[in-house]
Structure 1
Amino acid sequence: MNWLDWLLVIIGAMVGAPLRYLTDRAIQKRHDTVFPWGTFTVNVCGCLILGLVTGATAAGAASPHVQLLLGTGLCGALTTYSTFSYETLRLTENGAGFFATANVAASVVAGLGSAFIGVTLAEALFR
């Protein structure tokens, strides 16, 4: 990995991390529920973006540099497995087992579905 690769990942992460925080706060402020809608939203959106970028790269429409900038940097900082895990654990500890289970199931299904849709869409557009 050369210095340009590192720089692309850093730049992507510099956008992704604040975008995650601001999106999470804006979404949670609009919902009066214990369900972690903000984290759910950034994770699903990140999966869609990563699917699009991966599909575009596989189809030859995007370079490996785009994959590093958007896939590794942006999506790596935008999405958050640690916060998802913490929030699910917190829901369980607070007696909101239904919401914890719903968070796990919905996150896995929506995340995988979004990644699949992203890859499929990119392949349709760029092949």
Structure 2
Amino acid sequence: MPVLVGGTVSPEPRIDPDVDLRVPADRGELTAHPAAVLGAIAAGGVLGALARAGAQTAYPHPPGGFAWATFGVNLTGCLLIGVLMAVISARPTGPLVRPFLGVGVLGGFTTFSTYVVDVQKAVAAGAAGTALAYLAATLVGALVAVWVGDAATTRLLARRSGGQAR
């Protein structure tokens, strides 16, 4: 069934190339040794988690308040995940790029576990309205951010290459 992907019609839904063994370029990612992949994820995770912790320390919020730092981190991370997926879908990359940047850096940077804890703390502090607004805004905002990152990057790459990126 055709689907709309980044403003163009794709013959089938796009799936994560990490598990799409039908695509020869994606199979190339399997050449990396599992220890190297794990090391790349760990190194990226440290960088992403430190960046997130810095943002949350710089912009703390009261228990019943809207967690702006976590909200901003999650939306920024989701936007960058969309950008990254568009770039690595359009251009060949090394076998450790996706594990380092996608799983490591951006996985360590985004924090949906903290998001849930923030919601719980707001409810416990008697700010159910704030909790509900934060819950909905983060969910919708994150999905929109991934889509915008992917769609905008796909269009930009297509414009630069003079045709369709995908």
The two structures share one fold, judged by TM-score above 0.5: yes
State the superposition RMSD in angstroms.
1.8
Of 135, 152, 155, the match for 1:121 = 152
User: Which residue pairs with 1:26 in the alignment?
Assistant: 58
Deviation at 1:41, TM superposition (A): 0.9
Q: Distance in 2 between matches of 1:2 and 1:27?
A: 37
Q: Distance in 1 between matches of 2:137 and 2:156?
A: 28
Alignment of 1:41-120 (within 5 A): 41-60=72-91, 62-120=93-151
What is the DSSP-based 3-state SS (H/G/I as helix, E as strand, rest coil) of the residue aligned with 1:28? coil
Identity of aligned residues (%): 29
Q: Distance in 1 between matches of 2:152 and 2:35?
A: 32
Q: Distance in 2 between matches of 1:74 and 1:98?
A: 32
CA-to-aligned-CA distance 1:52-102 (integer Å, 9 cap, x gap) = 111111112544522111110011111111111111011111110111011
- Alpha-carbon spacing, 1:49–1:64, altered in 2? closer, same or farther (3 Å): farther
**Following superposition, which runs of at least 4 residues in structure 1 exceed 3 angstroms of deviation?**
61-64
Alignment of 1:9-20 (within 5 A): 9-20=41-52
Unaligned runs of 5+ in 1: none
Unaligned runs of 5+ in 2: 1-32, 158-164
Q: Distance in 2 between matches of 1:81 and 1:125?
A: 29
- Alpha-carbon spacing, 1:70–1:15, altered in 2? closer, same or farther (3 Å): same
1:11·1:69 contact (CA, 8 Å) conserved in 2?
yes
Deviation at 1:42, TM superposition (A): 0.8
Relative to the length of structure 1, the TM-score reads 0.89
What is the DSSP-based 3-state SS (H/G/I as helix, E as strand, rest coil) of the residue aligned with 2:65? coil
| Higher RCO (Cα < 8 Å, 6 or more apart) | 1
Relative to the length of structure 2, the TM-score reads 0.69
1:57·1:63 contact (CA, 8 Å) conserved in 2?
no
User: Which residue pairs with 2:34 in the alignment?
Assistant: 2
The structure carrying a bigger helix percent of its residues is: 1
Q: Amino acid of the residue matched to residue 25 of structure 1? A: T
